[in-house]
Amino acid sequence: MSVQPPDGAHPQLAVDIVDRLEWVSGLYPGYRRAHAKGACYRAVFLPTGAAAEYTTAAHLQGDPVPATVRFSNFSGNPYIWDRTRSARGLSVAFHLPGGVATDLLSVSQPVFVAATPQAFRDFLEAAEPNMFTGSPDPEVVRKYATEHTEAMRGLRAVKNTPIPVSYATLRYWAVHAFVWLDRMRRRTAVRYRWEPEAGVQQLSDERAAEKSPTYLSDELTERLASTTVAFQLKVQLAEPGDPTDDCTVLWPGDRTEITVGRLLVTGPVEDQAKWDRRMFDPTRLVPGIELSDDPVLRFRGQVYAVSHGRRTQGK
């Protein structure tokens, strides 16, 4: 398993970001600082073999791969109502022989709100709720956007994020670029997207207001009682000049795209407590895949380690 170190450790910045995540959502000891509300499910990934030309990664060849997935809401508040307008998450752990695992983390918006770890720290400061209103100060958020114009796409995505019919009816993007290596060590930059086979379906604000606070988990339980939930893993291949170091920028829509597999979610895991303790980490890679030069991606492992350390200590 390959876990590449970041370009220089910034432990204090990682601590500062986790502190600010707690200020934005509130402190809930023992829970994730983001995506606190969620549940894990059994799954199997069926590779198409289309990736084998570009990468030696074991889970993208031809054989079925057992997996565990976690659907979640973005907030660090584990009691947040499902009917809020918020990003959702789909994290997938692919289980390979010998106890090796690799993770793919994705969210229901195509770009991020910050291009660097420091800018993300600044965004969290801007998003801190006002003590009187309980919401971020619009003027402070506007000031952040003025000073970080590259964040506008991500901020618009946050504002316009859909309220889904189901976790099963959302697209999920991995946001960052990764690098595939083939048997000759030739490199191809890629971006991942999960496409729901049930189609993209969302609720109006009026319909969402009628839903229960836990309707997403309730709906998924009901859906899985009669069928599987399926996603196709789409991969966009970069062309020369496409940026790999900025997760606030999309690549052009005409880039070559391949379908590298299907994810079939079959039911809840038997031990939610065990899987709730697990840290899903986008930098946990296997040979055939490397981190790109995206500074946010390279930094995420440090933030996850701080958050994981706190919650496993009951903090």
Give yes or no for a contact between 142 and 149, defined as CB atoms under 8 angstroms apart: no
Catalytic residue among 35, 148, 176, 308: 35
Residue 308 to residue 248: CA distance in whole angstroms: 26
- 8-state DSSP, 187: E
The DSSP 8-state label assigned to residue 292 in this structure reads -
DSSP 230-291: EEEEEEEEP-TT--SS-TT-PPPTTS-EEEEEEEEEEEE-S-HHHHHH----TT-B-TTEEE
CB 293 within 8 A of CB 2: no
Q: Which backbone phi and psi does 40 adopt, to 5 degrees?
A: -110, 150
- In 3D space, the residue among 216, 258, 244, 245 whose CA is nearest the CA of residue 50 turns out to be 258
Is position 35 annotated as part of the catalytic site? yes
Which DSSP letter does residue 188 get? Answer: E
Closest CA to 276 of 30, 28, 24: 30
Assess contact for 174 and 289: CB atoms under 8 A. no
d(CA 169, CA 228) in angstroms, rounded, equals 13
First to last CA, the chain: 30
Q: What distance in Å separates the CA atoms of residue 284 and residue 275, rounded to the nearest whole number?
A: 16
Long-range contacts of 271-278 (CB under 8 A, 24+ apart): 272/39, 272/40, 275/40, 275/68, 275/70, 276/40, 277/312, 278/93
Catalytic residue positions?
35
